[in-house]
Chains A and B, each alone.
Chain A
Amino acid sequence: MMDAKLIFDQVSKYYGETDQAVTALNHISFQVHTGEFVAIVGPSGSGKSTLLSIAGLLLSPSKGRVILDQLEVNDLSSKEMSRVRLNKIGFVFQSSNLIPYLTVRDQLLFVAELAKNRTDQADQQAKRLLDRLGLTHRQEVYPDQLSGGERQRVAIARAWMNDPELILADEPTASLDSKRGRDVVEMLADEVRLREKAAIMVTHDERVLDLCDRVLEIKDGQLTQLSYKQVCTTDKND
Chain B
Amino acid sequence: MAKVLVFIDNPGASLKKSSLELLTLARSLGESAVALNGELSDGVAAAFGEYGVGTVIRPSTDDLDDFLVAPKAAYLAAAAEAAGAGIVLLDNSPEGKEIAARLGIRLNAGVITDVVAVDADGTGHKSVLAGSYNTACKATTPVSVLTLKANNVTPEPAAAPTTPEAATVEVPAGSSTAAARITAREQKVATGRPDLTDARIVVAGGRGMDGDFGPVEELADALGAAVGASRAATDAGWISHDAQVGQTGKTVSPQLYISAGISGAIQQKAGMQTSKVIVAINKDAESPVFEIADFGIVGDVFDVLPQAAAEIKKRKG
The answer to whether A and B belong to the same complex is no
Report which A residues bind B (CB closer than 8 A): none
